[in-house]
Amino acid sequence: MAYEVIHTAPQTSDFTALSDHQDHTPGTFFGGKPVLHLHCTNAKLQMTQLELANNSDFAALSDCSNGWKEAAEITGMEFWITSRYLILWSNTRSIGIQIPYPTISLHAEDGVAVLLQLTLSDPNTTADEDLQVITPRLVPHTAGLNGDIPPPIAHSDAYMTGEATAVSPQQRLYNAISACQELNPDPNLDGDDDEDGMGFDETAPGATGWITSENMADFVDEDGNFGMPEGATMIGGEEDGVDGEAGVPQNGLGPGAGTTRTAAERDSTDGAEDEGKWQRTG
């Protein structure tokens, strides 16, 4: 789902503060409260009227008080940037949009705002030219930021000595979204799988290149002779073959690989008796 419409206003108690999360080991890594990275109040949401006309859920955030201009500016907004979702809440309309981070295909600083590109269609089943995309601009209020100073800044020498450059509201908003996006990577798309639409199964016999008891029959015939299956490639080389000039096998295993010998053949080939083997170094 690209997003979810919510009708209950988020509360600070619904989340774990970022500073508390960093200072204490969580009691559980599953099912705990989301971590609140940043809370923006008195914020604005800017979208084109065409986007609002084509998306009733986002249009519901606006009271249309600024008329039907080309661009709509929705005031009275709150932005909650949490470890699981980005929440856009309208205090005026008492309705909100809860956005999973994979829906955010792009975000960037854009003047005093942060521009989002939200992909509302499923990229796995929708052609690129048919994707539904909207680009809201999130404008944080200078005095409406509630959250911890980003750790790289708060722990820097410049910050401790009072020499740090002030971080703008849009920079803090951008940094918080970036941090949470890293916690919620995009799921694998179909294009990342093989042609049959199945992922690589490392547990399949022979899938990792090793010859085991489970796939031995693929490499040894009824007489016990070793041979590579059709289409298989030796480790360290391309297909089985011999270099035309040097006469060196190109399979990376060297001459004699896979050859079986009896004890008598081994001794005659080695040219040494058992009691003298300890003297050999190679």
For the chain, which residues make up each domain, given as ranges?
4-187, 200-272
Residue type, 184: N
What span, in angstroms and rounded, lies between the C-alpha atoms of 280 and 236? 29
Res. 213: pLDDT tops 60: no
pTM beyond 0.85: no
What span, in angstroms and rounded, lies between the C-alpha atoms of 234 and 258? 12
The residue among 146, 30, 45, 156 whose CA lies nearest residue 95 is: 45
What span, in angstroms and rounded, lies between the C-alpha atoms of 50 and 134? 10
The arithmetic mean of pLDDT across residues 100-129, rounded, is: 91
Instruction: Give me the pLDDT at residue 272, please.
Output: 53
Mean pLDDT for all residues in the chain: 75
pLDDT-derived band at 195, boundaries 50, 70, 90? very low
Res. 32: pLDDT tops 80: no
Q: What is the CATH number of domain 4-187?
A: 2.30.29.30
Q: pLDDT digits over 136-152, tens only?
A: 999 998 766 666 554 44
Instruction: Give me the pLDDT at residue 148, please.
Output: 55
CB under 8 Å, gap of 24 or more: what pairs does 218-225 form? Answer: 219/258, 224/260, 225/258, 225/260
The arithmetic mean of pLDDT across residues 107-111, rounded, is: 95
Percent of the chain with pLDDT over 70: 55
What span, in angstroms and rounded, lies between the C-alpha atoms of 139 and 75? 10
pLDDT-derived band at 20, boundaries 50, 70, 90? low
Between residues 181 and 164, which one has the greater pLDDT? 181
pLDDT-derived band at 167, boundaries 50, 70, 90? confident
